[in-house]
Amino acid sequence: MEVTTENLNAIRGKIESMPKFNHVEILKILKKYNSVTLNENKYGTHVNLTDIDPTILEELYTYINYVGTQENALNEMEKQKEQFKNIYFAKDNKEIHGKIK
């Protein structure tokens, strides 16, 4: 992954839109490296992404993609669950599929 302003802004935007438990995982990734400076105040923890080594950025990017893939898979399963629920468990559909003997 090439380190550009656009890529750094994309990483920042994706991280900011994640829930708190993902922020904690990202901080765990960053804390593994002594070269990363974490600035904490009462509003949260701040990191200057321009100072981070490209290999660390690649690890962050991999985690962000993993989270996105997991979210997509969960959303797809939820859709499928709703479809099954509507087909097999809806009160009105019992008459369509016949009575269970």
Residue 68 within a domain: yes
Residue 101 within a domain: no
Residue 30 within a domain: yes
Residue 39 within a domain: yes
Q: Where are the beta strands (DSSP E) in the chain?
A: 38-41, 44-47
Our count of domains for the chain comes to 1
Whole-model pTM: value is 0.78
Segment 65-89 mean pLDDT: 93
Domain housing 55: 5-94
Residue 99 within a domain: no
The residues, any chain, with a CB within 8 Å of residue 54's CB and separated by 6 or more, are 1, 3
Residue 100 within a domain: no
Give the pLDDT confidence of 3-43 residue by residue, as tens digits: 899 999 999 999 999 999 999 999 999 999 999 999 999 99
Radius of gyration of the chain (CA): 22
